[in-house]
Amino acid sequence: MAYDADETRRRILAAATAEFAEHGLAGARVDRIAAAAACSKERLYAHYGDKESLFTAVLNASFAHLGEAASADFASVEDFAVAVFDHLVDNPANQRLLAWARLEQRHDWAASFGVLESVRATSVGHLERLVGAAGSTDASAASAPSAEAPPWAPDDLFALVLAIASAWVQLPGLPDDQPRTPDVAAQRAIVRMAVGRLLD
């Protein structure tokens, strides 16, 4: 079978995501990542460089995935918030990666600026359009309550929406002998209602 470089990179990225989410940058082991990806450490280094560069690749991929979730043509700010919420629920490792990056303070944030700015610009663009902050040429739409802009800049609204969508991620975990199954449908409804009230 011919060597598939793209598939190898995909396996490495998936294995590294799991390893870094569990152990952070400092505690992660390259040999465990290579074993989980079914490749040699030499092959891993050839594709991604050192461990710090691999962590950056993993973190940036997680940001890019959030950007994809936020790139749809949403009908309302509430729909945007629910899409972000669903993405976070489906990808819990991404929030752990971000938490490790903030805690360890070893990540080169300049290396993530491009993808973060892309996510921000896409998200803020949606919010400007959806709340009428960019201005509307339709006078009747501009006068409708749903088109009134909230009293914050779009970047601030984005931060508030993101905070609401990620609220449950911030809660401490429970001991293994006290499992809790979240009611995702109820949480999704709360996100929609809370964001709607922001715009009242």
Residue 152 is predicted with a pLDDT of: 81
Percent of the chain past pLDDT 70, that is, above it, reads 85
Q: How many CB atoms lie within 10 A of CB 15?
A: 21
Question: Which pLDDT tens digit goes with each residue over 114-128?
Answer: 999 999 999 999 898
Task: Write a three-state SS string for 94-158.
Answer: HHHHHHHHHHHCCCCHHHHHHHHHHHHHHHHHHHHHHHCCCCCCCHHHHHCHHHCCCCCCHHHHH
Tens-digit pLDDT profile for residues 127-143:
988 887 434 534 444 44
Secondary structure letter of residue 76 according to DSSP: S
Angle (CA) 86 65 41, round 5°: 125
- All residues at 6 or more sequence positions from 40 whose CB lies less than 8 Å from its CB, including other chains: 34
Mean pLDDT, residues 162-184 taken together: 76
Average pLDDT over residues 143-160: 72
pLDDT score, position 150 = 64
169 falls in which pLDDT band (50, 70, 90)?
confident
- Chain segment 6-65, per-residue pLDDT in tens: 999 999 999 999 999 999 999 999 999 999 999 999 999 999 999 999 999 999 999 999
Average pLDDT in the chain: 87
DSSP secondary structure letter of residue 166: T
